[in-house]
């Protein structure tokens, strides 16, 4: 559940009954949308609204007491509102969270002094002051909105997604297991640039992980539990028991390290040392983690992992990391998405465990079991790529939406045919900008909150492809 601090604005010489009824309406709407509200009580200020600086102090103190709960702030204007106390509330609270500014609409049939709101005008003054104060904010899709209407509820949902993304990324702790594969300069990145955005990376040598796993016994209770979890997760009938047991031990070791280190997500080296010296691929384990919204990216791709975190926070569904991999015939707006694969089962139409067909040629099929393969289900999706631009000391992003189709395709791994509007323009942008071939995706259309969160609140450079 998202928690919003609520500031109900009021200007004293406007009708106070509008502030009173507006406060009740907005709190009822938030409750109906499963959003928790932290708002001044009616006995804490006149009508529970912010009209003067003493109200702002009380509201700021309230927000401070709940700072660990509050994910964002909603400013709502049932009438013009007092611009300075509203801005002061946020400044004095010390909160650095997303802010949504909403204004009630006037009714043309009720424009006498007793019922006129002027929130239309007041919203401009409110935003002007927020900008002067250096407070970042989001506005609704229409300047004034009926809070009980479907459009405002849609905006609330998008803003809740923005809040989840920002909360997840600011202070995220990511685990990199193993070194970047030697052949993949593509996934180079700057830990220092990410640290400036509040994202930390903890590293683990692959030999430590394999050593811990090798010490575990088959009869260990945690190993047995993980083995059963794997078998319940996907079809494993064709997989040797010894390979499944090695996967289970690896999963137990990863789980313990993540718990001990307090990590939110992982990126794993995955080839070829793990296959040569331990005898499995980690793909199904990574799929299982991603399916629980504890995402795991392959090839030690930490920026790709950040894209997964942003997308799953927006959609509240698992995210996957894929390759822009093949053209689809001569259709300029279609492509084949592919990975070997570690995709979460949430994205599949059907799935099963198999051996990794590409790497088996060099390490042997017996050392390559553990992929989860199948076709991605049809429907809309959102994609996002995060990258550190080390030469210019910044984080850059591209994002957009597309649709997985049911076009015929006979291949292996985790795959799907995708249709992207103006796809050739996007491909040109990726190549001309020198960006990676990996891209994160999640089911559903959530690009708006992703772009809002990453551009406005994380202060990253974002290209929205349409």
In the predicted model, is pLDDT for residue 111 greater than 90? Answer: no
Alpha-carbon distance of 93 to 161, in angstroms, equals 22
Alpha-carbon distance of 136 to 133, in angstroms, equals 9
Residues sharing a CB contact under 8 Å with residue 450, sequence separation 6 or more, in sequence order? 161, 165, 310, 311, 314, 382, 384, 399
pTM over the 0.85 mark = yes
Q: Residue 335 phi/psi, 5° resolution?
A: -150, 170
Residue 151 near residue 105 (C-beta atoms within 8 A)? no
Alpha-carbon distance of 366 to 389, in angstroms, equals 40
The H-or-E segment that residue 254 falls in is helix 241-261
What is the pLDDT, as a whole number, of residue 183? 87
Largest Cα–Cα distance of the chain, in whole Å? Answer: 82
Q: Residue 419 phi/psi, 5° resolution?
A: -115, 125
Residue 166 near residue 453 (C-beta atoms within 8 A)? yes
Q: Select from 430, 436, 450 the least CA-distant residue to 388.
A: 436
Q: What is the DSSP letter of 300?
A: T
Alpha-carbon distance of 168 to 152, in angstroms, equals 24
DSSP calls for 257-291:
HHHHHT-SEEEE--SSHHHHHT----HHHHHHHHH
292-340 pLDDT tens trace = 999 999 999 999 999 999 999 999 999 999 999 999 999 999 999 999 9
Q: What is the DSSP letter of 181?
A: P
Give me the domains of the chain, ranges plus CATH numbers.
3-169 (3.40.50.10940), 173-464 (3.20.14)
CA dihedral sign of residues 161, 162, 163, 164: positive
380-411 pLDDT tens trace = 999 999 999 999 999 999 999 999 999 999 99
Q: Which pLDDT band holds residue 12 (cuts at 50, 70, 90)?
A: confident
In the predicted model, is pLDDT for residue 38 greater than 90? Answer: yes
């Amino acid at each position: 559940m998202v928690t919003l601090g609520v500031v109900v604005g009021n200007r004293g010489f406007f009708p106070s009954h509008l502030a009173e009824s507006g406060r009740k309406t907005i709190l009822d709407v938030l409750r109906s949308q499963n959003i928790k509200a932290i708002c001044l009580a009616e006995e804490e200020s006149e009508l529970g609204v912010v009209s003067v600086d003493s109200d702002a102090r009380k509201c700021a103190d309230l927000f401070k007491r709940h700072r660990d709960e509050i994910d964002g702030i909603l400013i709502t204007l049932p009438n013009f509102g007092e611009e300075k106390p509203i801005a002061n509330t946020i400044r004095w609270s010390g909160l650095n969270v997303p802010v949504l500014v909403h204004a009630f609409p006037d009714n043309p049939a009720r424009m006498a002094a007793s019922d006129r709101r002027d929130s239309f005008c007041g919203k401009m003054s409110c935003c002007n002051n927020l900008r002067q104060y250096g407070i970042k904010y989001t506005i609704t899709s229409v300047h004034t909105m009926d809070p009980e209407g479907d459009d405002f509820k849609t905006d609330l949902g998008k803003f809740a997604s923005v809040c989840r993304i920002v909360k997840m990324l600011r202070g995220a702790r990511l685990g990199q297991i193993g070194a970047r594969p030697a052949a993949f300069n593509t996934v180079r990145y700057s830990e220092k640039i990410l640290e400036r955005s509040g994202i930390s990376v903890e590293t683990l040598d692959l030999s430590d992980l394999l050593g811990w796993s090798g010490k575990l016994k088959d009869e260990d209770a945690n190993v047995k539990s993980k083995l059963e979890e794997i078998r319940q997760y996907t079809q494993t009938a064709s997989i040797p028991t010894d390979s499944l047991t090695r996967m289970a031990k690896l999963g137990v070791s990863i789980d313990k390290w993540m718990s001990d280190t307090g990590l939110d997500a992982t990126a794993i080296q995955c080839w070829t040392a793990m296959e040569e010296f331990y005898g499995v691929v980690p793909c199904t384990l990574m799929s299982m983690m991603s399916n629980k919204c504890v995402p795991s990216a392959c090839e030690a791709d930490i920026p790709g992992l950040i894209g997964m975190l942003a997308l799953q926070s927006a959609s509240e569904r698992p995210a996957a990391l894929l390759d822009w991999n093949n053209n689809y015939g001569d259709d300029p707006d279609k492509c084949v998405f592919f990975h070997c694969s570690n995709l979460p089962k949430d994205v599949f139409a059907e799935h099963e465990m198999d051996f990794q067909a590409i790497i088996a040629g060099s390490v042997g099929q017996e050392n390559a079991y553990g992929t989860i393969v199948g076709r991605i289900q049809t429907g809309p999706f959102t994609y996002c790529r995060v990258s550190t631009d080390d030469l210019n000391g910044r984080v850059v992003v591209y994002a957009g939406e597309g649709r997985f189709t049911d076009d015929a395709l006979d291949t292996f791994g985790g795959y799907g045919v995708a249709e992207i509007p103006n796809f050739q323009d996007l491909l040109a942008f990726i190549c001309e900008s020198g960006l990676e071939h990996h891209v994160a995706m999640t089911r559903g259309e959530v690009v708006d909150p992703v772009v809002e969160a990453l551009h406005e609140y994380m202060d990253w450079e974002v290209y929205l492809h349409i």
